[in-house]
Chains A and B, each alone.
Chain A
């Protein structure tokens, strides 16, 4: 039954893509058909994921139609795959509904049949990728996913920036694929099979050198797709270039397929390794989280800002994974389970709120035609629902209760703090809380960043005529955002539902279910036996927290109403008698300035101020300010690499004279030399 459901998911996406493409002559119909099939498939995918996670079964199909030696499984949906199918389906459900309204702006400007085709193929590739039972299928769908998403990134191809962003994206993603290829070939060589299932039996007994090699290869390979620093440079370019519904999917879901691949290879096939693997991943995660959020604060393009937050959140996910790998290296499955649960839960949460925020950014762009935050302002009054949903997303990503981001970050904190008291080496005991501190700093900066993002865009007065003329977006877009906003709240209040779903996943991967140690329904209380006589015990009750918050808010409201003079008076803000104009407003740049100054050693900001005087020194005619953050990694890493590459290519070019006769000459000489030599 479940396998039929799986084929239904793939079939609907395939049909949706083909129908949308064949109807390209009628853009409006093509749009409706394409996204309707995507919605249907997302519903089926959600049901499929939940069924498998609740029963804990594994379903698979044989590879009858594509039989190759060493390949017995075409698709294999175990709890881990089912969890990622669930994540993909939930996000694509909301994003597809959102797209009904959003894609209308492309009617008459671009080929909507192409959009429908690429969009459905993109989803199809992601679902099939996480369900792949062998490395061969995995790589095929991985490439299909990369190519479809490339097509979507350059959808607005008339803009040269978009084309350049697409180029960077496709180059980086192929570099990543190269490393994954190598890792899979190494695995095949040692395990003698393409099947993940088969590899998992042999993977654990591989010589440690092999395991380390494969681990490092997949870290680079999947790290490129996930966007860990310093492999992240494509992310802040590709996300703003793509249409917003696509960036929601790319950031919310596509990055997660890299996390899936990493977990599949490192935890499932290799079964974990030495503790230093975990330390490496934890450090990479910490660096990505901290630098990601710092760079995010410096961005004034809303989608670029969100893209850097993806770097940050991938970092947080990797911190949980890193902690899990450390514990696994030391043979502490219970603690590894907490780290893994935290990471997977954050995968789900980040998918939900990041897709929500990208859709919010898309809605704002739809209404104002700009992505520059400095041109927005006052949108809350004009677009109240969009503003509300964006606020929900902002609170979630800033990890504040009662929303979902808080719970998964809290779990990540627990796994990092336990590093301090678990029976590990002394260095790790000291380092654990330090990493925890870094995570706390990340959370605080993220909160600051979203105060900026929300405040500058939605509050105060409009800073441009586009913003002043904004209108609320169509209902389908609001419904799409609303679904994810509700899910953010539900998972924030009842995280136990997600933890219950994750139970079979952790049971399968680290041999320890999440329900046992994380317990109850309303309460989340990790009880972890560290030593025979010492156990680590902490708890939190998100639901109670929510009730207390709601009651507290009500109480404050009542008290203020009682103490205040009553009645509401609407008047202008007092401004010492002057008139208020948008030019007086706090800008995004000025809001971020204190942080830019604090972290100037890391961010290396530069600014140029040009003043033009009218008469004397005191009479300024015009003032020009330019500020930018040094693109550190591009200067240090990518530009030199590119220069070397171009130089070598230039040398190679001498061979390529363009003359047919010379090319034939190469053939001729090779042939004659071989004939004589091989005699």
Chain B
């Protein structure tokens, strides 16, 4: 984080900005595209950090991120959206202005919360950790407020990206086995959620998760 650290800060900021863009997205495919963009940024960041610290594994992980998060998972999501045949709006309980406000507050909370933990770290480390926590909360916010099942997956991906960022930023790369395990987990998770979304569509004629309330006994 000494060499090339000048490139870190803008990328982290961009990653956080993408989260806000997802909150502002009106259409499902926009949201998916934004997540892809975020994954590419994440891969870039990992590569920069890996090269700067001379950790070869991190470069490999960056490639893997690119393949899985920017390739395979968007592919699955696209398929889900195409099969259901809708590019409808990302319907929400909370309007966009309110979403932005809440997300801003969440960023503040995460800086507040990580202030002490990261005090011993460098400026970039502090920023990365705070951003990671903020992404976690924003991802949860997306899952919570958006009605369509695809958006729940998008929220989940943002949370996952946040965790990944925290791992990369604070540890300079977890052991490769752990990273591979996490990737596999996420892939399976998205696959299962995709299938589940199909099922919701076929049983309720809509992927509006509000309707799941009917399952209550």
Contact = CB atoms under 8 A, between A and B. Distances in A.
A664 interface: yes
Given A657-B213, A660-B209, A665 B109 contact: no
A659 to B, nearest CB: 5
Interface stretch (A307-315, A416-424, A595-603, A667-675): A667-675
A520 B191 CA distance: 77
A493 to B, nearest CB: 60
Contacts of B213: 657-659
Nearest to A677: B113
Nearest to B146: A661
A657 B109 contact: no
A668 B216 contact: no
Contact of B144 (A664, A675, A678): A664
A656 interface: yes
Contacts of B141: 668
A679 interface: yes
Contacts of A667: 140
A676 interface: yes
Interface string B189-217: 00000000000000000000110111110
Interface in B149-177: 152
Nearest to A664: B144
A678 B113 contact: yes
A676 B112 contact: yes
B209 A672 contact: no
Nearest to B92: A661
Given A656-B216, A657-B216, A671-B140, A679 B210 contact: no
B106 A672 contact: yes
Contact of B210 (A656, A659, A672): A659
B45 interface: no
A676 B215 CA distance: 35
Nearest to B215: A658
B109 A672 contact: yes
B144 A679 contact: no
Contacts of B136: 671
A658 B115 contact: no
Contacts of B93: 661
A675 B116 CA distance: 12
Contacts of B152: 660
Given A657-B216, A668-B137, A672-B106, A679 B209 contact: no
B30 interface: no
A661 B140 contact: no
Contacts of B116: 679
Contacts of A657: 213, 216
Interface in A301-331: none
A286 to B, nearest CB: 45
Interface in A178-223: none
A676 B144 contact: no
B140 A664 contact: yes
A657 to B, nearest CB: 7
A657 B209 CA distance: 13
Interface residues of B, number: 25
Nearest to A678: B113
A675 B109 contact: yes
Contacts of B214: 658
Interface string A29-58: 000000000000000000000000000000
A175 to B, nearest CB: 23
B49 interface: no
Interface string B103-147: 000100110110110000000000000000100110011011101
Interface size class of A (residues with CB under 8 A): 10 to 19
Contact of B109 (A661, A664, A676): A676
Nearest to B216: A658
A661 B112 contact: no
A672 B137 contact: yes
A665 B107 CA distance: 17
A494 to B, nearest CB: 60
A668 B215 CA distance: 23
Contacts of B147: 661
A678 B113 CA distance: 8
Contacts of A665: 144
Contacts of A671: 136-137, 140
A657 B214 CA distance: 10
Contacts of B144: 661, 664-665, 668
Most B Cβ at <10 Å: residue of A660, A661, A667, A676:
A661
B133 A675 contact: yes
B112 A679 contact: yes
Contacts of A661: 93, 143-145, 147, 209-210
B93 to A, nearest CB: 7
Contacts of A656: 216
Nearest to A662: B144
B153 to A, nearest CB: 13
Contacts of B212: 658-660
Contacts of B115: 679
B201 to A, nearest CB: 15
A511 to B, nearest CB: 57
A679 B145 contact: no
Interface in B59-112: 93, 106, 109-110, 112
A659 B210 CA distance: 6
Nearest to B210: A659
A561 to B, nearest CB: 74
Contacts of B216: 656-658
Contacts of B109: 672, 675-676
Contacts of B110: 675
Nearest to B152: A660
A660 B196 CA distance: 14
A273 B210 CA distance: 60
A509 B113 CA distance: 61
A127 B208 CA distance: 54
A679 B116 CA distance: 7
A656 B217 CA distance: 10
B137 A676 contact: no
Nearest to B209: A660
Interface in A621-679: 656-661, 664-665, 667-668, 671-672, 675-676, 678-679
Contacts of A658: 212-216
Nearest to B115: A679
A677 to B, nearest CB: 10
A196 B56 CA distance: 55
Nearest to A663: B144
A124 to B, nearest CB: 36
A679 B133 CA distance: 13
A676 B113 contact: yes
A668 B94 CA distance: 15
Contacts of B112: 675-676, 679
Nearest to A679: B113
B109 to A, nearest CB: 6
A664 B112 CA distance: 23
B92 to A, nearest CB: 10
Most A Cβ at <10 Å: residue of B116, B147, B213:
B213
Contacts of A664: 140, 143-144
A667 B216 CA distance: 19
Interface string A561-600: 0000000000000000000000000000000000000000
19 contacts: A656-B216, A657-B216, A658-B212, A658-B213, A658-B215, A658-B216, A659-B210, A659-B213, A660-B152, A660-B209, A668-B140, A668-B144, A671-B136, A672-B106, A675-B109, A675-B112, A675-B113, A676-B109, A676-B113
Please give me the 7 A-B residue pairs with the lowest Cβ-Cβ distance, nearest first: A658-B216, A664-B144, A675-B113, A658-B213, A668-B140, A660-B209, A664-B143
Interface of A: 656-661, 664-665, 667-668, 671-672, 675-676, 678-679
